[in-house]
């Protein structure tokens, strides 16, 4: 137990910061995922076959390939790709990208594929009449989406988005392979230097359980907020 105290003798403070790092990566990845969902959901719902194809390609490939493989692609390929782009502009020095950025983008792309599916399902579940009524009333497209579709969509989407959040949170543990010091990596370091893997990995499990429990509590509150009137 004295291994878990804060300060120089224990790993408490290190693990605390690692937990914050996990939260930071998860939130960043989730936001990046929303950004991707924002691009790919309209593509999937588009009238044009080509756009559908691009949207389906993204969600199928990402959801059908292991997360770890995607992370390796970004970890090994990320700096290479950037250096290639930089070489076009005449910059030939070695560029190393931050593990936080690579990891967030990799997890973000994965999380985005799941978010896209959630948003697509939520929009499709809205009654057609809602779109038509808005059109008849002469409401412009922006207000229609923002004031009529989005609130109804969120009610449908929040329970599923909560699943996406849980998946994203757990997927961040995989970034530890790239060396980013989050919960898993910190536990690995601590376990290695104290030779007490059981304690540290169990503690990591407890930390993850705490995070999933807390986020469930917060999401439940959001759910009640958006299902007012139902």
Partner 1 sequence: MDFDLMFSSLPKLLGASVVTLKLLSVSLFFGLIVGFLFAILRINKNIFINKFAYGYSYLFRGTPLLVQIFIIYFGLGQIEYLRSTFLWVILKEPYWCAIIAFTLNTGAYTSEILRSAFQTIKPGMIEAGKSLGIPNKIIFYKIQIPIAIRQSLPAYGNEIILMMKGTSLASTVTLMDLTGVAKYIISTTFKPIEVFIVAGGIYLFMTFIIYNVIKFLEKKYSFNT
Chain contacts with partner 1 (rule: CB under 8 A): 60-61, 63-69, 72-73, 76-77, 80, 166, 170-171, 173-174, 176-177, 184, 187-188, 191, 195-198, 201-202, 204-205, 208-209, 212-213
Query: At closest approach, how far in Å is the CB of 92 from partner 1?
Result: 17
> 184-188, long-range: CB within 8 Å, 24+ apart, which pairs?
185/18, 186/11, 186/14, 186/15, 186/17, 186/18, 187/15, 187/18
Q: Which of 28, 162, 152, 51 is nearest to 102 (CA)?
A: 28
Nearer to partner 1, 41 or 102 (CB): 102
- What CA–CA distance (Å, rounded) separates 104 from 182? 12
Q: Which of 105, 116, 224, 214 is nearest to 160 (CA)?
A: 116
Query: At closest approach, how far in Å is the CB of 139 from partner 1?
Result: 37
Query: At closest approach, how far in Å is the CB of 196 from partner 1?
Result: 7
Nearer to partner 1, 153 or 184 (CB): 184
Nearer to partner 1, 33 or 78 (CB): 78
Q: Which of 173, 156, 52 is nearest to 110 (CA)?
A: 173
Query: At closest approach, how far in Å is the CB of 155 from partner 1?
Result: 21
Nearer to partner 1, 156 or 211 (CB): 211
Rg (CA), the chain: 21
Nearer to partner 1, 63 or 221 (CB): 63
DSSP H/E element including 218: helix 197-226
Query: At closest approach, how far in Å is the CB of 228 from partner 1?
Result: 27
Nearer to partner 1, 42 or 159 (CB): 159
| Cα 69 to the center of its chain, rounded Å | 16
What is residue 184's three-state secondary structure?
A: helix
Query: At closest approach, how far in Å is the CB of 204 from partner 1?
Result: 5
């Amino acid at each position: 137990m004295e291994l878990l105290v804060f300060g120089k003798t224990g790993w408490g403070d290190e693990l605390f910061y690692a937990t914050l790092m996990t939260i930071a990566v998860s939130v960043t990845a989730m936001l990046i995922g929303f950004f991707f969902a924002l691009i790919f959901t309209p593509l999937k719902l588009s009238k044009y076959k080509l756009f559908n194809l691009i949207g389906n390609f993204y969600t199928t490939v990402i959801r059908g390939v292991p997360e770890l493989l995607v992370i390796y692609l970004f970890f090994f390929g990320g700096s290479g790709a950037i250096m290639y782009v930089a070489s076009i502009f005449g910059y030939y020095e070695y560029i190393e990208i931050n593990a936080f950025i690579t990891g967030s983008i990799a997890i973000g792309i994965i999380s985005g594929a799941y978010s896209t599916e959630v948003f697509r399902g939520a929009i499709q579940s809205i009654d057609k009449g809602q779109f038509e009524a808005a059109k008849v009333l002469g409401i412009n497209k922006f207000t229609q989406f923002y004031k009529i579709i989005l609130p109804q969509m969120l009610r449908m989407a929040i329970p599923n988005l909560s699943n996406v959040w849980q998946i994203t949170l757990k997927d961040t543990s995989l970034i530890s392979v790239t060396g980013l010091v989050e919960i898993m990596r910190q536990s690995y370091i601590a376990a290695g230097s104290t030779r007490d893997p059981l304690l540290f990995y169990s503690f990591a499990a407890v930390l993850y359980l705490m995070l999933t429990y807390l986020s469930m509590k917060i999401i439940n509150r959001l759910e009640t907020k958006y299902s007012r009137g139902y």
